[in-house]
Amino acid sequence: DAKTTQPPSMDCAEGRAANLPCNHSTISGNEYVYWYRQIHSQGPQYIIHGLKNNETNEMASLIITEDRKSSTLILPHATLRDTAVYYCIVGVGGEKLTFGTGTRLTIIP
């Protein structure tokens, strides 16, 4: 069973920051938080992951709360191409990923 909870859908205006929340209250100490996204009919695309500290790369930022029970993925300047299903996954590095149903993010022009 998926170990994360995400809102089923969100909208965001083009050019604004998209903030996608995820709850993972049962996360274990050795589990990472991974974010993937899937654009219609394509394979999932890796976005970012983190263990304890906040992380940033060219695609997004990941903010993990101090107790690690929740996190937020931030897309700083959303474009229409960011419309996708976003999956938040917790797991041990290298082991199987357990996907939930994710958040369907729609970027509004």
Partner 1 sequence: DTGVSQDPRHKITKRGQNVTFRCDPISEHNRLYWYRQTLGQGPEFLTYFQNEAQLEKSRLLSDRFSAERPKGSFSTLEIQRTEQGDSAMYLCASSLITLQAGDEQFFGPGTRLTVL
Residues in binding contact with partner 1, number by CB under 8 A:
24
Q: Based on the shown chain and the rule CB under 8 A, indicate whether residue 60 belongs to the binding site for partner 1.
A: no
72 Cβ contact list (under 8 Å, min separation 6): 19, 20, 21, 22, 62, 63
Binding letters toward partner 1, positions 26-55, x by CB under 8 A? ------x-x-x----xxxxxx--xxx----
- DSSP secondary structure string, 81-104? GG-EEEEEEEE-TTS-------EE
Is the CB of 14 or the CB of 38 nearer to partner 1? 38
29-64 residues labelled b (16+ CB within 10 A) or e (exposed): eebbbbbbbbeeeeebeebbbbeeeebeeeebbbbb
Structure tokens at 17: 């920051």
Taking the complex as a whole, the smallest distance from the CB of residue 32 to partner 1 amounts, in Å, to 5
Which of residues 40 and 109 has its CB atom nearest to partner 1 in the complex? Answer: 40
Draw the binding track, 64-103, toward partner 1 (x: CB under 8 A; -: no contact). ---------------------x-x-----xx-xxxxxxx-
Q: Which residues bind partner 1 (CB under 8 A)?
A: 2, 32, 34, 36, 41-46, 49-51, 85, 87, 93-94, 96-102
